[in-house]
Amino acid sequence: MLQDFLDFARLNAISATVLELTGSTNDAASDPACRHGDIVVALEQSCGRGQRGNSWSSERGRNLTFSIVLEPENFAAERQFMLSKIVALSIVEVLAKFGVEARIKWPNDIYAGSRKIAGVLIENSVCGAQLTRSIVGIGLNVNQTAFDPALPNPTSVALETGREADLGHLLKELYITLMSMLRRGGGRSVDRLYLEKLYLRGVPHRFTASGRSFEGVIRGVGDYGELLVEQEGGATDSYLFKEIEFERGAP
Ligand code: BTN
């Protein structure tokens, strides 16, 4: 199932651990023995974690749930949103190769149309002004076609393309793309691409912030990852994660 990736990892001396069952790959990868570039993949997670305290559920062996350890050199902590951009863009780039046109729902959910196909949970360690270590956890729905009806809007590669994808091939492409984008480092081209791929940019939508529901238009993202939303009347406000929510449905 993951053979393509495991062959690639062996050939390139990448430490890859495949667990039949674990709580969360982010927790497994936070073992200090895991070093830069190491990857932990789970066939099943019993306590998969998402953002905002949500859980992440995934059918055993049908999807990708994994975490990669990064220990970047000289990466200023204040640039940590750049890492988020690189991770999201690498997923979008690989999905395109597999026939899925995806967008990034700020900050780093991955959407196909108006449905979520992947989620990212990045847990950073900072020392002084430097980002020292990141656990990049990615859950990508690949071959699952039936989901818990309680989930708001899930989709998968198989649902989007009408055919199953090889998990090992997909994981190999994700690993290569992410690590090479990281080596190139972030920069203006990453900023530009992130904006190009930003879900609902320029489209009126309803948001909730500080208990108030309003219509706004996403205009961009600030240097620290804050969402820039133009309000009715023309003023643009910036919001940190947790300060704003997208309302469901049409504006
Ligand atoms: C989200 O959309 O809220 C983020 C979901 C992240 C899920 C992945 S699955 C692999 C890794 N391990 C976890 O417990 N979470 C991430």
Ligand 1 neighbourhood includes 121 CB (under 6 angstroms): yes
CA of 242 to the centre of ligand 1 (A): 17
| Strand partners for 119 | 139
The pLDDT value given to residue 14: 98
Residue-wise pLDDT tens digits, 116-135: 999 999 999 999 999 999 99
Residue 186 beta carbon below 6 angstroms from any ligand 1 atom: no
The pLDDT, as a whole number, for residue 32 is 97
Sign of CA dihedral 25, 58, 137, 161: positive
Q: How is residue 244 written in tokens? A: 């704003």
Single out the residue of 94, 76, 108 nearest to residue 194, CA to CA.
108
Instruction: Report which ligand 1 atom has the smallest distance to the Cα of 58.
Output: 9
CA of 141 to the centre of ligand 1 (A): 11
CB 76 within 8 A of CB 129: yes
Q: Which residue, 71, 79, 185, is CA-closest to 136?
A: 71
Tokens standing for residue 19: 């667990």
- Given the DSSP bridges, would you call strands 109-112 and 102-105 parallel, antiparallel or unpaired? antiparallel
Task: Give the Cα separation of 111 and 115 in Å (integer).
Answer: 5
Residue range(s) occupied by CATH 2.30.30.100 in the chain: 204-246
> Over the stretch 17-50, which tens digit does the pLDDT of each residue have?
999 999 999 999 999 999 999 999 999 999 999 9
Instruction: Tell whether ligand 1 has an atom less than 6 A from the beta carbon of residue 144.
Output: no
Q: Which residues of the chain have pLDDT under 50?
A: none
Tell me which residue has its CA closest to atom 2 in ligand 1: 119
- pLDDT in the model for residue 249: 72
Architecture (CATH level 2) of domain 3-196: 2-Layer Sandwich (3.30)
In the chain, which residues fall in CATH 3.30.930.10? 3-196
The residue to mutate among 56, 108, 117, 135, having the most atoms of ligand 1 within 8 angstroms of its beta carbon, is 56
Is residue 136 within 8 Å of 87, Cβ to Cβ?
A: yes
* pLDDT value of position 27: 98
Q: Which pLDDT score is estimated for 240? A: 95
CB 54 less than 6 A from any atom of ligand 1: yes
Backbone φ/ψ region at 233: left (φ over 0), alpha (ψ -120 to 50), beta: left
pTM of full prediction above 0.95:
yes
The closest-lying atom of ligand 1 relative to the alpha carbon of residue 52 is: 3
Kindly give the pairing relationship between strand 244-246 and strand 204-209: antiparallel
* CATH 2.30.30.100 assigned to 204-246: yes
Query: How long a stretch of residues is the chain?
Result: 251
Handedness of CA 180, 106, 198, 168 (dihedral sign): positive
Q: Which atom of ligand 1 is nearest to the CA of 109?
A: 2
